[in-house]
Amino acid sequence: MEFHTPHHIRELGLEALPVRPDARAKLGGNPGFLSDRIQPGQLRGAILGSPHPHARILRIDTSAAQALPGVHAVVTHADIPGIKHYGLRKVDRPVLCIDKVRHVGDPVAAVAAVDMETAQQALALIRVDYEPLPPVCDPGAALDGTAASEQPVHQDGNLLHAASHRQGDMSAARASTVHRVQDSYVTPRQMHAFLETEGGVAEPDGAGGLRLFFGGHNPAREKQVIADMLGLPHDRVHAVATPVGGSYGGKDELTIQPIAALLAWRAQRPVRLHLTRPQSVDLGVKRHPMQIEMQTGCDAQGRLTYHQVQIVADTGAYATHGPEVLDAALEHAPGPYRYLALDLGARLAYTNNGIAGAFRGFGAVQVQFALEQQMDRLAALVGMTADAFRALNLAAPEAPGPLGQHVVPFDGAQRALDVARQQPLWRGPHRWASADGRHLHGVGLTLIHRSDGFGKGGPSDCRMELALAADGAIELRCGFTELGQNLVGTIQSLGAQHLGCSADAIRPVLGDTRLTPDSGPVAASRATTLVWRALQEAAQPWQQALLLAAARLLPDIPLHCGAWGLESAAGLCLSYADLAKASGEQAPCISLDLRAEDPEGNAHDTHFVFGACAAIAQVCVDTWSGMVRVQRLVMCTALGPVASAQGYLGQMEGGALMGLAMGTQEELACLDGHYQARNLDGYLIPTLADAPEMQVLAIENIPEGDPIGPRGAGEISVNLALPAVANALAAALQRPITQLPMTPERVIALLEAGAESSTP
């Protein structure tokens, strides 16, 4: 591969990193997370969830619970004065169930009492008469079988969403095909397992309004949903959604906030509602399980000819982000490669298997696992190395996107692959056994790209404010929330870079609807990119505003903006604090309005910005026990300039661990609508002891004139880790990997099946 400029690579693990600016507050518990907002006088909230995965509600009797001393509120759907359902593209989720329950734990009623013991007693006194219905558990049968017509999950049927894409002459492409691989791939349901379960406080403000303190991604949306539910003007609801004790997408959409708000409004007392881990398992969203049929062909020289994909995904009881997840799966199914013809289809089924929703990797990671297995298997049939096969088939940097849409030109995939194939881990052996034959080692390579931001038509518009506060701090005010991604440090670093001040002079103001404009959700790896773009656009007008304000005080001195104030040739002349004090209400404040930039001709839900990564994984398989250990992971990340080295490294390493666990251990089984684990003693997540040796090589190059800047690092490490580990396992076992996770039982089964010749 040839490049106009050499790779600009930073090995982030070798750099000296500053202490996170929010580390002391988080580690010291001061101020803590929003579920830690414990104060005298709060009532305790509790939810009565359904014991059935699928049933009609015949009668709800709350009279005995209401009569219990110490109970201040008992609510059902009948107590909701405004809109009773909420949702994103599909408004299908009731705050409290009305005539039907659709998953175990589906909220039917709720209480607020003086303490948790009384609240639990009150729940036990609520009488609900159910008529159980057959649970819809298999997504394929939900769409095509008897469950599709006899007892659908929703009255409009079990098909929530479908998407398809075709391009090229399939007949001609198939005719030119010499080698083809066809298989079925199955990916698991995965839990977010965030440290802080869903929780927070709803407080009447004493003036006819309500204050909400719940960790989430989008306080402006939370405010809107709650106001509509209570029939209040939107400005009567105040939402604070930061900081968040982990999310990974699981707190993107509302869960318990409407119920807590309804209880507080009914009782006119503050109500604290915080789920236990088993309740969180029942009520929280999970990663979408997918069944993927994939057939891919190439010619005798190894050039890809056609790609056919059919996806069936299980969204569970309610839509949440399901349609967007399915669209992402379809869009990423071709990967960064070029074909003569594509035939892609995807369907999303309602079932009674809990609820699936947003999860780091967001629909793409499931199909990328399958696609990258296909690439390795085709390379072996042709007799090419895995890296050479991918290099031959990469789409050009200026080529259209995977669904034919216009995209921002970017050579990230080419650079990532070029860096990866030069790594010593890839240049060494790809399979070997230990001296005693017990342990098999495998090395696998993957190449993926990942969309940034929302698809066309999504909530991409964003507003922020840049202001000089009364104490002289430079405040960037935005509705984004701190999820653990080091957003505070990123804003300070980017502010210093673009505004010319000290990083410590910048004070991010986040996630509070009274203090910040609506910036849209902090999701889809968009916050860093939008902050970069906002500060880049604001730099000149901001400095001009500061200089204009300073000129009123020091009219005859040439000034420029410095680290802590306005400077002349002699040094600091006017600190930002003194400028703010002198300016009063006239202190500089500018509004930053960013609009969606999707090209007009692009189809709805497609993306026009992509980042890319390559990765190499080394695994060790114990042939006696079937246990798999990921030993090394080299990540070659082409995501543009690094906004915060510490945040970037944390995202890459943390996400990679989550991705490899999806491949080796995590699976939340669901039997007849009941999860088979409801706590972390039955659902094991990786610890630091499971983490491999990781190397992060950040490739910072972007094309000249690139309008985007940094691509998102928040999700793509999940996307790269899973297929890299799966390809390494396939190399070690000499069998394709078609079902995840690769538990010891599945590993032993493949070992007993013997090697397959089409696997490298």
Write out pLDDT tens, residues 382-440: 999 999 999 999 999 999 999 999 999 999 999 999 999 999 999 999 999 999 999 99
> Cα separations (Å) of 665 from 169, 366, 443, 740?
41, 15, 19, 8
- Please give the average per-residue pLDDT across 75-86, as a whole number: 98
pLDDT for the residue 597 = 85
**In the structure, what pLDDT confidence band is assigned to residue 759 with cuts at 50, 70 and 90?**
very low
Q: Is the pLDDT score of 125 beyond 60?
A: yes
- Same domain, yes or no, for 161 and 303? yes
- Please give the average per-residue pLDDT across 463-480, as a whole number: 98
The tokens for 178 are: 């010499």
- Please give the average per-residue pLDDT across 440-451, as a whole number: 98
pLDDT for the residue 760 = 39
- Please give the average per-residue pLDDT across 511-518, as a whole number: 98
pLDDT for the residue 758 = 46
Q: Is the peptide bond before 760 cis (omega within 30 degrees of 0)?
A: no
* Domain of residue 467, CATH code: 3.30.365.10
- DSSP β-ladder status, 210-214 and 199-204: antiparallel
One-character DSSP codes across 111-130: EEESSHHHHHHHHHH-EEEE
Phi (first) and psi of residue 283, to 5 degrees: -95, -25
- Same domain, yes or no, for 575 and 691? no
Q: Which range (25-29, 460-464, 533-537) has the least confidence?
A: 25-29
- Round to whole Å and give the CA distance between 658 and 687: 10
Query: Per residue in 620-630, pLDDT tens?
Result: 999 999 999 99
pLDDT for the residue 150 = 82
- Same domain, yes or no, for 660 and 732? yes
Query: Per residue in 654-692, pLDDT tens?
Result: 999 999 999 999 999 999 999 999 999 999 999 999 999
- Same domain, yes or no, for 645 and 749? yes
**pTM of the predicted model over 0.95:** yes
- Round to whole Å and give the CA distance between 45 and 275: 9
Q: Is the pLDDT score of 482 beyond 90?
A: yes
CA-closest candidate to residue 540, choices 511, 560, 514, 513: 560
pLDDT for the residue 148 = 65
Q: Is the peptide bond before 741 cis (omega within 30 degrees of 0)?
A: yes
pLDDT for the residue 147 = 61
372 vs 760, residue with greater confidence: 372
The tokens for 79 are: 């107590």
CA-closest candidate to residue 367, choices 389, 349, 345: 345
- Please give the average per-residue pLDDT across 505-527, as a whole number: 95
- Name residue 697's amino acid: L
- Same domain, yes or no, for 376 and 277? no
> Is the distance from CB of 455 to CB of 605 less than 8 angstroms?
yes
Query: Per residue in 136-163, pLDDT tens?
Result: 999 999 999 776 668 999 999 999 999 9
Strand partners, 271: 43, 202
- Same domain, yes or no, for 221 and 123? yes
Q: Domain end: 283, 314, 329, which one?
A: 283
Task: Tell me the average pLDDT of the chain.
Answer: 96
CA-closest candidate to residue 442, choices 13, 753, 749, 747: 747
Query: Per residue in 529-569, pLDDT tens?
Result: 999 999 999 999 999 999 999 999 999 999 999 999 999 99
Residue 402 lies in a domain: no
- Phi-psi map region of 748: left, alpha, beta (phi>0 left; psi -120 to 50 alpha): alpha
- Same domain, yes or no, for 227 and 360? no
Query: Per residue in 227-263, pLDDT tens?
Result: 999 999 999 999 999 999 999 999 999 999 999 999 9
Residue 124 lies in a domain: yes
27 vs 347, residue with greater confidence: 347
Query: Per residue in 91-121, pLDDT tens?
Result: 999 999 999 999 999 999 999 999 999 999 9
- Same domain, yes or no, for 686 and 627? yes
Residue 9 lies in a domain: no
Query: Per residue in 582-614, pLDDT tens?
Result: 999 999 999 999 998 899 999 999 999 999 999
How many domains does the chain fold into?
A: 4
**In the structure, what pLDDT confidence band is assigned to residue 27 with cuts at 50, 70 and 90?**
confident
3-class secondary structure, 156: coil
pLDDT for the residue 459 = 92
- Round to whole Å and give the CA distance between 379 and 409: 27
**In the structure, what pLDDT confidence band is assigned to residue 757 with cuts at 50, 70 and 90?**
low
- Same domain, yes or no, for 450 and 325? no
- Round to whole Å and give the CA distance between 111 and 367: 43
Within 10 angstroms of residue 752's Cβ, the number of other Cβ atoms is: 7
> Is the distance from CB of 630 to CB of 477 less than 8 angstroms?
no
- Same domain, yes or no, for 246 and 129? yes
- Same domain, yes or no, for 416 and 509? no
Residue 405 lies in a domain: no
- Same domain, yes or no, for 307 and 357? yes
- Residue spans of beta strands (DSSP E) within 168-303: 179-187, 199-204, 210-214, 237-240, 271-274, 285-286, 290-298
- Round to whole Å and give the CA distance between 249 and 646: 21
Range of the domain at 453: 410-457+607-667+681-753
Strand partners, 239: 212
CA-closest candidate to residue 47, choices 102, 107, 95, 97: 107
Residue 266 lies in a domain: yes
List, in order, residues 6 or more apart from 238 with CB less than 8 Å away: 205, 209, 210, 211, 212, 223, 512, 513, 514
